[in-house]
Amino acid sequence: MMDFFISSAHAQQAAAPQGGALFNLFFIGGMLVLFYLILWRPQSKRAKEHRELVNNLNKGDEVLTSGGILGKVTKVTAEYVTVEVANGVELNLQKASVAAALPKGTIKSIDN
């Protein structure tokens, strides 16, 4: 009686495309290449540039920290850097918190 109101659905067997496994391998390989080009490579390049910046810090460099603090480097150790942010005011920071090295004279140009 219910077949009159609701028709039965009959599934049709789909034909498997030839070369489906090969297509899947190319698809997965393409996704891995895109993942490498879009995500992993640029991130590793930025990390390398930051590592070089931190390793090349010297006394007298003007830096910007990740917290937005501008200052002049007065002392550099293996893990920490001392930054003078005002006359007589020095902060000890981890080297990793240095976000950028600024051109000489940047702090003076901002103070004026």
Domain count, the chain: 2
Q: Mean pLDDT, to the nearest integer, of 61-78?
A: 94
Does the pLDDT of residue 19 top 70, yes or no? no
Predicted local confidence at residue 13, as pLDDT: 59
Radius of gyration of the CA atoms of the chain, in A: 30
Give the amino acid at 26.
F
Does the pLDDT of residue 38 top 60, yes or no? yes
DSSP letter, residue 69: -
pTM (2 d.p.):
0.64
Spatial distance between the Cα atoms of 90 and 80, rounded to a whole number of angstroms? 12
Whole domain around residue 31: which residue ranges? Answer: 18-52
On whether both 66 and 93 belong to a single domain, the answer is yes
Query: Does the residue 13 lie in any domain?
Result: no
Spatial distance between the Cα atoms of 95 and 109, rounded to a whole number of angstroms? 25
Query: Does the residue 11 lie in any domain?
Result: no
Q: Mean pLDDT, to the nearest integer, of 51-69?
A: 93
Q: Mean pLDDT, to the nearest integer, of 56-65?
A: 94
